[in-house]
C-alpha cells in the first residue's frame, strides 16, 4: 500500500474544503487506485462534517490532545475519544509545526500516540532533524533520539512513521535520493528492536514533479504533502504518479 497524506494545515473555508473533497472524490478512480491510500487531514473544525459527507475518503486529524484520551476540563482541546466518535481513523502526531509554534515535547507526542491507539486511531508519527543537525552531521543521532523518545514502549499496534526533515518543509529543498535511502535504512534498523511501522513515508516539499523519483528510487511507502495538497490538480497528479 502506498500512502498519500494531505496535510491542509490551517487552510480553506468550510465551503472550499467541501468543494475540494467533492472534486477529489469524483476524480479519483478507486478501482485503479486500490493499492494507494489517500488520507486528507483538514482543519479539525471540518473533520466530522467531511467524514460524514464523504464516506469513501479517509480523513486524519492534524493533532490530538495530550491532556487525556477521553473527556475532561481542558478548554480548546480535542481528544482521541472525540475523534473516534466522529469516525476518524488517522491522526498526524508531532508535526514540527506543533513543536515550533506550540512547544510540543517528545513526551506529549508519546502520550498522543498512546491515546490514539487506545481509541483505534492510527498515528502518523512525524520525526526529522533540523538544519543544524544535518549540517553538523549528527542528524542520525538526532533521529534515533527522537524515535526512541517518541515511540511508546511495546507498541504493537499499527502506526506510520513520517520522515520530515525540518529544513525540507516549505522550502522547496528535498534530500537527495542517497540521503533519503540512508535515513530509511537507519530508521528501519532502529525500529526493528522497538516496533515495526506499517509504512515509512517521506514529507517535505513533495510535488508532482519530484514525487516519482522519491517513490521509484527509494523504499518509502508514500508521501506526506503540505502545500501540494492544497491544489486539486496537483494532488490528483501525485495520486496518479505514485505506484
Ligand atoms: P510542504 O509541507 O509539503 O509544504 O513542504 C510538508 C509538511 O509540513 O508535512
pLDDT score for 86: 97
Residue 49 φ then ψ, to 5°: -65, -45
- Alpha carbons 54 and 141: distance in angstroms, whole number: 42
Please name which of 183, 166, 168 lies closest in space to residue 220, comparing C-alpha atoms.
Answer: 183
Over residues 207-232, the pLDDT tens digits come to 999 999 999 999 999 999 999 999 99
| Predicted confidence (pLDDT) at residue 9 exceeds the cutoff of 90 | yes
95 catalytic residue (yes or no): yes
Q: What is the 8-class DSSP label of residue 201? A: E
Condensed to tens digits (0 to 9), the pLDDT of residues 91-143 reads: 999 999 999 999 999 999 999 999 999 999 999 999 999 999 999 999 999 99
pLDDT reading at 34 higher than 80: no
If you measure from the C-alpha of residue 237 to the centroid of ligand 1, how many angstroms do you get, rounded to a whole number? 17
Residue-wise pLDDT tens digits, 56-88: 999 999 999 999 999 999 999 999 999 999 999
Classify 85 as helix, strand or coil.
Answer: helix
Average pLDDT, the chain: 95
Q: How far is the CA of 97 from the centre of ligand 1 (A)?
A: 10
> For residues 4 and 239, is the Cβ–Cβ distance under 8 A?
yes
Q: What global pTM score does this model have?
A: 0.96
pLDDT for residue 160 is more than 80: yes
Cell of 124: 502518523
- pLDDT band at residue 154 under the 50/70/90 scheme: low
Is the Cα dihedral 62, 48, 8, 11 positive or negative?
Answer: negative
Q: Which residues contact ligand 1 via a Cβ below 6 A?
A: 7, 164, 169-170, 203-206, 224-228
Amino acid at each position: 500500500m502506498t500512502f498519500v497524506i494531505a496535510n491542509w494545515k490551517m487552510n480553506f473555508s468550510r465551503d472550499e474544503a467541501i468543494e475540494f473533497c467533492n472534486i477529489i472524490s469524483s476524480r479519483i478512480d478507486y478501482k485503479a487506485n486500490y493499492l494507494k491510500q489517500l488520507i486528507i487531514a483538514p482543519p479539525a473544525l471540518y473533520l466530522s462534517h467531511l467524514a460524514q459527507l464523504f464516506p469513501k475518503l479517509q480523513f486524519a486529524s492534524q493533532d490530538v490532545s495530550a491532556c487525556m484520551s477521553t473527556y475532561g476540563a481542558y478548554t480548546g482541546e480535542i481528544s482521541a475519544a472525540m475523534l473516534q466518535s466522529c469516525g476518524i481513523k488517522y491522526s498526524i502526531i508531532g508535526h514540527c509545526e506543533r513543536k515550533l509554534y506550540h512547544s510540543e515535547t517528545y513526551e506529549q507526542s508519546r502520550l498522543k500516540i498512546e491515546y490514539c491507539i487506545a481509541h483505534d486511531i492510527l498515528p502518523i508519527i512525524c520525526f526529522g532533524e533540523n538544519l543544524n543537525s544535518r549540517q553538523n552531521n549528527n542528524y542520525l543521532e538526532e533521529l534515533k533520539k527522537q524515535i526512541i523518545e517518541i515511540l511508546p514502549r511495546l507498541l504493537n499496534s499499527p502506526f506510520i512513521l513520517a520522515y520530515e526533515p525540518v529544513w525540507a518543509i516549505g522550502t522547496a529543498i528535498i534530500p537527495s535520493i542517497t540521503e533519503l535511502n540512508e535515513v530509511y535504512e537507519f530508521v528501519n534498523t532502529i525500529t526493528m528492536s522497538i516496533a515495526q511501522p506499517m509504512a515509512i513515508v517521506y514529507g517535505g516539499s513533495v510535488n508532482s514533479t519530484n514525487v516519482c523519483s522519491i517513490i521509484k528510487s527509494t523504499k518509502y511507502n508514500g508521501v506526506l504533502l503540505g502545500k501540494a495538497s492544497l491544489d486539486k490538480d496537483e494532488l490528483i497528479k501525485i495520486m496518479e504518479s505514485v505506484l
